[in-house]
Amino acid sequence: MSKFNFPFIKETNELSNLRKEVREFITTCINNNEITQSPDAWVFSADPSFSKKLGSKGWLGMSFPKEYGGHQRTALERYVVTEELLSSGAPVAAHWIADRQSGSQILRYGNEKQKSSIIPRITAGECFFAIGMSEPDSGSDLASVKTKATKTKNGWKLEGRKIWSTGAHLAHYMIVLARTSPASEKNRHEGLSQFLVDLSLPNVKITGIPDMTGQRHFNETLFDNVELSDDSLLGEEGKGWKQVVGELALERSGPERFLSHFTLLDSFINEFRNSLIHSGTKIVGKLISEIQTLRRMSFSVASMLQNGESPETQAAFVKELGNKFEKMMIETLREFSNIVPLHEWPNQLQNLFEDATLRIPSNSLRGGTTEIMKGIIARQLGLR
Amino acid sequence: MIEELEIILETTSKILQKHVNHSLRQNIVSENTDILNLWNEIEKNGLPKISVKEKFGGYEIPFFSILPLIKIVNNHGTPLPLSETILSNYILSESDINAPNGIVTFATNTKNLQIKNNMISGEILSVPYLNLTKNLLIVHEFNNVKKAILIDEINGEIIHKKNFLAEPRYDIKVENLNIAEMKPIKNNIDFNFLGAILRSAQMIGAMEKVVDLSINYCSERKQFGRTLSKFQAIQHQISEMAVELSASSAALLTITELGLGEKNSNDTAILKIRAGFAAGKIIAISHQVHGAIGFTKEYELSYFTRNLNSWRNDFGNESFWEEFLGKRFLEKNNKNLWEYLT
């Protein structure tokens, strides 16, 4: 069992300098009250004006080619920027999906028109995306999607329903996985295709679904015979499964899988440093060891992406470990209330803690459940 | 040097594949000629002195670079203290002591040690494989000076510990025992850190074997009309083993690449915490998926899980290093956590 390696990648001085630059920028924004910090910010805390600022700083679409307005920087540089944004709880939800996966997906599979019309806008922080994978009857079993695209004289007709489409109400586009021909008996993964769908088109209806905390980020997106132009097809007809699997590797391995609630941990330690010195060194040490290992692994996956590898399995490892860490972290803080009772925590910290406690069940659902991650790993181990 | 190491790793694998089997592991005594033959083969290839300076007849490959070798040795379940010898010889060599030939073991702990007229008295504890050698390294601090002490002839009261775990271990009570060599240790050599790294690398080698054994067993064993590997409950348990193992391996690669500077000692703590935690999970799950056969002496799983249990307790368990790491951050630092981590 030594085939899943995570080579060690050193953070160079250039990367550390970039880190510093991003951190100073965020600190200034916070000090000037330009942004608010929140946990799980990449999911629901959208601030288009902040996204635009990041775009003008050159911190979106960082690894995209220059001809499409990108900056041709490395995946490692992008990694450093995302870590800084996540650890500070900055409002990044508006552009997150576009920058993380949709842009790369278009660059990899898109035609010239798709690339030149959309990528520069993503890079500028002006064009946002939602994910079009899950459906009311297709959650973990993604290959069972029923949304259907039928060939017409001028293009395609899209019919179906996508759900849990986080941020669709703010997004300009959605990459939709749809059936373009029936699944073959042998292989259900055949006959799927990806479409680049403009959400402002007629007959697209987006309805919000409040999550259990009351926040709005979830949506149901209805495509009621939406007319799509011929060049809405993203990539190759019938190759949607292979494409979507690659997209998921981008989605799963990033630092948002273990830094979603870092602001809580940071405030917790700043508040209770003195009590922790007496009765919490062990828990702090445990948390540090987990975060550092995860950062180390996630950084390694970024370098695999940089080298053009397809680290789908390694991404599943990172996601699985990251999800476990976040749950463990919240449980650890809860147990600390034995030392300082919860009702004596400062209000803001109590709120952060309660919010995180409510949100944490979603971390091992979004981007693929624990069960799916373990299934992917088991397949690679030769068990399925 | 990398090429040289590759060749050494390949040769070692071949030797171990040829000589190591499960019956060898059940008879670890100096009278066993198979044990002696294996050691001679290992010594002929220069492995015990791989990290010893050239002037003392070694290969002088840095200790951190040879951690992959430690992994291989323990992946094969080699019932000889080669890992202990490599570390002991490295410390001796770094302390300018010419390492002896043969097996050299070390004391993991000591009690009431005293030195007078080049003689040592006190209790030397939990020494692995003392039945195979007379060479023993003790690292101890006297009057604020850390010293490497080499003993090459042991007499005194030797107690074979009951030791529930795998390898033979001994406690020794000595009085005025002759010291062969004693020299101060360089500042950059911390026995507890190096020991923690050694045990972690050993654990990772053994855990790789345990995961492989589990995969193979579950792919062959049939119950309810299908192989165990077809049950999702089993697949998920084995995936969990793989996840824990991959995190430990990542932590080990950090040390292999960066070595151990003052700045990187956090990485040692992280490695020992990660490997120790993973070992706990992997021991439990591997036995669970193996059923009763894994609990027998004749099946080889137990050799590896017993060793894992032993090594995760040496040189500080997870709690020890968690406290080390937490204290280091909380006490010596006013930075907030993120600044500290990056």
Please determine, for residue B264, whether its predicted confidence score (pLDDT) is greater than 80: no
Residues of chain A with CATH 2.40.110.10: 131-239
Q: Nearest to residue A174, comparing CAs of A134, A208, A140, A211?
A: A134
Cα nearest neighbour of B240 on chain A: A374
Question: How far does A163 lie from chain B, in Å, by closest CA?
Answer: 27
Q: How many CB pairs under 8 A join A and B?
A: 154
Q: Nearest to residue A275, comparing CAs of A341, A339, A334?
A: A339
Beta carbons of B208 and A2 less than 8 Å apart: yes
Cα nearest neighbour of B269 on chain A: A289
Confirm or reject contact between A3 and chain B (CB < 8 A).
no
Residue A101's pLDDT is 96
Cα–Cα distance between A308 and A74 in angstroms, integer? Answer: 11
Mean pLDDT across chain B: 93
In the block, which residue shows the tokens 């004693």? Answer: B182
Instruction: Note which residues in 18-57 of chain A have CB less than 8 A from chain B.
Output: 19
What residues contact B224, with CB distance under 8 A and at least 6 apart? Answer: none
* Among the four given CATH numbers 3.40.50.720, 3.40.50.620, 1.10.1200.10, 1.10.540.10, the one describing domain A13-127: 1.10.540.10
* Among the four given CATH numbers 1.20.140.10, 3.20.20.70, 3.90.1150.10, 2.60.40.10, the one describing domain B191-341: 1.20.140.10
Nearest by CB to residue A383, choosing from B218, B240, B256, is B218
Q: pTM of this prediction?
A: 0.95
Determine the residue among B318, B337, B341 to mutate to test chain A binding: the one whose Cβ has the most chain A Cβ atoms within 10 Å.
Answer: B337
* Among the four given CATH numbers 2.40.110.10, 3.40.30.10, 3.90.420.10, 3.40.50.10800, the one describing domain B2-184: 2.40.110.10
Residue B157's pLDDT is 78
What residues contact B78, with CB distance under 8 A and at least 6 apart? Answer: B16, B20, B38
Q: What mean pLDDT is predicted for residues A317-337?
A: 95
Residues of B in contact with A293 (CB under 8 A): 247, 250-251, 270, 274
Please determine, for residue A287, whether its predicted confidence score (pLDDT) is greater than 70: yes
Q: What mean pLDDT is predicted for residues A16-22?
A: 98
Residue B203's pLDDT is 98
Cα–Cα distance between A54 and A47 in angstroms, integer? Answer: 11
Domains B2-184 and B191-341 share a fold: no
Beta carbons of A1 and B323 less than 8 Å apart: no
- What does DSSP say about strands A129-132 and A173-179: parallel, antiparallel, or unpaired? parallel
Residues of chain A with CATH 1.20.140.10: 253-380
Cα–Cα distance between A359 and A356 in angstroms, integer? Answer: 5
Residue B265's pLDDT is 84
Sequence-distant contacts of A74-78: CB under 8 A, at least 24 apart: A74/A306, A75/A302, A75/A303, A75/A305, A75/A306, A76/A9, A76/A15, A76/A299, A76/A302, A76/A303, A76/A306, A77/A15, A77/A18, A78/A302
Beta carbons of B229 and A288 less than 8 Å apart: no
Please determine, for residue B262, whether its predicted confidence score (pLDDT) is greater than 80: no
- What does DSSP say about strands B109-116 and B169-178: parallel, antiparallel, or unpaired? unpaired
The residues facing A177 across adjacent strands are A194
Give the pLDDT confidence of B286-332 residue by residue, as tens digits.
Answer: 999 999 999 999 999 999 999 999 999 999 999 999 999 999 999 87
In this structure, are residues A294 and A254 in contact, taking their beta carbons and an 8 Å threshold?
A: no
Mean pLDDT across chain A: 95
Specify whether domain A131-239 bears CATH 2.40.110.10: yes
What residues contact B85, with CB distance under 8 A and at least 6 apart? Answer: B48, B103, B104, B105
Residues of A in contact with B215 (CB under 8 A): 1, 381-383
Domains of chain B by residue range: 2-184, 191-341
Question: How far does B307 lie from chain A, in Å, by closest CA?
Answer: 18
Superfamily covering domain A253-380: Butyryl-CoA Dehydrogenase, subunit A, domain 3 (1.20.140.10)
Beta carbons of A381 and B238 less than 8 Å apart: yes
ipTM above 0.85, yes or no: yes
Q: Which helix (H) or strand (E) holds A225?
A: strand A216-229
* 3-class secondary-structure state, position B105: strand
Confirm or reject contact between A230 and chain B (CB < 8 A).
no
